[in-house]
Amino acid sequence: MDAVVLAVGGSAYADPYRLSTAPNYLPSPYPLAKHATNIPRGCRVGILGTGLAAVDVAVTLDALGHDGPITMFGRSGQLPTVRGPQTSYKLTHLTPTAIENAAKNAPLSIDAVSRMIQDELRAAGSSPQLLLRAMRPQPPLARLSAQLDAFLTSSDIGPQILQIAVATVGQDLWYLLDTTAKHWVLDHLHRTVMALCCPMPAFNATRIAKLLATGQLTVHAGITAVHPARSGGFTVATGTGPTAVDLLVNTITPARRHTPHAARGLIDHAIATGLLHPNPAGGVHVFRHTSQALDVQGRANPHLYILGELTSGAFYFISGMPVLAKRSADIAHHITRHTY
């Protein structure tokens, strides 16, 4: 075998409240078709998390005719933004060359990244102020309604620029970003970045807006604890007080990723033999351009490539289809042009 691509799959959803053995707790929302059809139509459903998977659960329940209350719980309570119309805009400031030049003498700083984003927005006829306005805290229905209106009437492509950048240069930006800055983003900006850069389709946004408007769906921020109730179900503590639900669906994904449990034996052995070198930020060290595994001396292994979860320390966006497609294409390109 001349080349191996190590793609061990994703980690399980996080279980920060240690509910894995509790009755009426679904540790993962997928497969949705299996789980959602078994949820009693009138029961009080709680969803841990407010990201894309949480949206999938709520929309699927609505499509199946669920008529009980649905409540999303999260730390920020921030829903994904609405995906705007497609654009053919070509980045001129957020390019690999510009990023490499900015990091030539030192790792990228938050200020340097911010300047490049602002320059790109202005070049596209947008503005940082418009983007900041979209990020302001608002009640979920008000924010969603404004975004759906903008989808139909606004010509601003600021959010789409960020979404284009995720697939084309997002991994370069994160790889070259200062370590302290990476920790700051994970601790303070992760939810906002994911909401902006991983948006939901307008169809799903319309369904969520309808559920919010009728009161069937509510979103609570400031979750602090979850306790199984003696009478069954759960009590979820948030900034607005406790909420009782009959069933909980977990959609929480951690900002800091870990090696999938099923792959730990393989990865630990590869690290112990020097084949892989662990990255303190997560996963293992890889070469930015080709995703080749790096050993402890920083040398690229000509036969071993890493894709997905194990690149979590090197790259920020590791699971979206556009990002995986680009990284896979880079790996395939290098393999087909390499002489073994």
Same domain, 181 and 233: no
**Kindly report the CA angle at 309 between 76 and 5, in degrees rounded to 5?**
160
Confidence band for 19, pLDDT divided at 50, 70 and 90: very high
Same domain, 302 and 332: yes
pLDDT digits (tens, 9 = 90+) for 121-154: 999 999 888 887 777 778 999 999 988 988 888 8
Same domain, 182 and 239: no
pLDDT (0 to 100) of residue 340: 66
Segment 244-265 shows an average pLDDT of: 86
Please report whether residue 264 resides in a domain.
yes
Q: Other C-beta atoms within 10 Å of 94: how many?
A: 23
Out of 172, 194, 216, a domain closes at 194
Neighbouring-strand partners of residue 185? none
Please report whether residue 71 resides in a domain.
yes
Same domain, 123 and 171: yes
Same domain, 100 and 181: yes
Q: What secondary structure does DSSP assign to 96-136, as a single string?
A: HHHHHHHTSSSPBPHHHHHHHHHHHHHHTT--HHHHHHHHS
pLDDT digits (tens, 9 = 90+) for 180-206: 999 899 888 888 888 888 899 999 999
- Residues 303, 291 contacting (CB under 8 angstroms): no
Out of 162, 178, 194, a domain closes at 194
Q: What distance separates the 2 farthest-apart alpha carbons in the chain?
A: 66
pLDDT (0 to 100) of residue 43: 95
310 dihedral zone (left: phi>0; alpha: psi -120 to 50; beta)? alpha
175 dihedral zone (left: phi>0; alpha: psi -120 to 50; beta)? alpha
Which residues are CB-neighbours of 248 under 8 A, at least 6 positions away? 19, 22, 24, 25, 26, 45, 46, 47, 48, 226, 234, 236
18 dihedral zone (left: phi>0; alpha: psi -120 to 50; beta)? left
Same domain, 108 and 47: no
Count the domains in the chain. Answer: 3
Burial status of residue 306 (CB atoms within 10 A of its CB: 0-12, 13-18, 19 or more): buried
Sheet holding 234-238, edge to edge: 225-228, 234-238, 241-245
Same domain, 241 and 205: yes
What token pair was written down for 95? 């390019």
The pair phi, psi for residue 70, each rounded to 5°, is -120, 130
The pair phi, psi for residue 9, each rounded to 5°, is 90, 180
Residue 244 domain boundaries: 25-80+201-250
List the helix and strand counts (H, then E) for the chain.
13, 11
pLDDT (0 to 100) of residue 108: 95
Out of 194, 212, 238, a domain closes at 194
Instruction: Return the axis-axis angle of helices 128-135 and 110-123, rounded to nearest 10°.
Output: 110
Which residues are CB-neighbours of 331 under 8 A, at least 6 positions away? 5, 290, 291, 305, 307
Same domain, 261 and 324: yes
Global confidence as pTM: 0.86
Select from 6, 3, 1 the least CA-distant residue to 271: 6
Please report whether residue 86 resides in a domain.
no
Please report whether residue 70 resides in a domain.
yes
